[in-house]
Amino acid sequence: MIIDTHNHVGLAPLAQSLEVLAQKASAMGVVCGVITAGGVEDFERVRQTAQKLNWGYCVGLHPLYIRENWQADIKALSAFLETHQDDPHLVGIGEIGLDFYVEGLDRDRQEAAFKEELQLALRFNLPVSIHSRRALYRVLALMKEYPTVSGVLHAFAGSLDEMKQAVRRGLYLGMGGAMTFPGSKRVRTAAIQAPFGSLVLETDAPDMPPVFSETKKSSPLDLPRYLSELADLRQEDESVLSKALFMNSLSAFPKLKVLLAK
């Protein structure tokens, strides 16, 4: 049983309908996913898509889309969380974080929004799905101010020292398409050396395509091959690793247990 802990299914055109995707995914052992939002405009769509698939979803403000009037978006996020806090499909806050890779973005604004979202995670007792490009050092520093907030470092590509810091902090490391590229040295090193209990699988679908993708897109249907790749890298039994990753995913997003019990 495999869980896609980070994707954007339903927010971009699909090669097939949601129903067909769900059937194919289920047949391949992909039992659940976590759909993450990019901004306020996505909130209702990810909610509806998650309910159709019986998956989980997260709402948050992606750091690439922090607007000048970001305080209004934070209020909208808070109001959505308040209204839907009893929705079993609402499993976290995300995709949130920092992006220092794209030039021209206001870093102070990103950090201010990120801290407000971490405060909401505390208030609503929800884990976070964190975006971090060229900013992991700062993400880890800011999260020290919120020691009880848990979550996943989406698309982890940090150094060994940052990996150790994240593991000590109790954060999970998302492994996906980048892991399939032999040249992704940092990602593959983390995949090999991270503790068994700190890894989860993700696709970021339709983004971050794997090396074997013919469409230049990723899909939850890629997850069985990601599992095999990770097992090969770690030289571990695939079935044992699969069970561990499944339990890690439920620990990262505890409300998924309710969905899978349906």
The pLDDT assigned to 17 comes to: 86
- Specify the length of the chain in residues: 262
Tell me which amino acid residue 14 is: L
The pLDDT assigned to 191 comes to: 97
SS (H, E, C) 5-51: EEECCCCCCCCCCHHHHHHHHHHCCEEEEEEECCCHHHHHHHHHHHH
Closest C-alpha among 100, 104, 101 to residue 114: 100
- Which positions of the chain have pLDDT values less than 50? none
The pLDDT assigned to 230 comes to: 98
- Rounded to two decimals, the pTM is 0.97
The pLDDT assigned to 262 comes to: 77
Strand ranges of the sheet holding 30-36, from the earlier edge strand across to the other edge: 2-7, 30-36, 56-59, 90-99, 128-133, 151-153, 172-175, 199-201
As given in the structure block, the two tokens for residue 156 are 């982890």
DSSP conformation letters of the chain = -EEEEEE-TTSS--SS-HHHHHHHHHHTTEEEEEEE-SSGGGHHHHHHHHHHHT-EEEE---GGG--TTHHHHHHHHHHHHHHHTT-TTEEEEEEEEEE-SSTT--HHHHHHHHHHHHHHHHHHT--EEEEEES-HHHHHHHHTT-TT--EEETT----HHHHHHHHHTT-EEEE-GGGGSTT-HHHHHHHHHS-GGGEEE---TTSS--TT-SSS---GGGHHHHHHHHHHHHT--HHHHHHHHHHHHHHHSTTHHHHHT-
- Ordered by where they begin, the domains of the chain are 2-260 (3.20.20.140)
The pLDDT assigned to 186 comes to: 94
The pLDDT assigned to 16 comes to: 74
Q: Which residues pair with 196 in a beta bridge?
A: none
- Do 237 and 255 form a contact (C-beta atoms < 8 A)? no
Closest C-alpha among 138, 151, 141, 146 to residue 60: 151
- Do 50 and 56 form a contact (C-beta atoms < 8 A)? yes
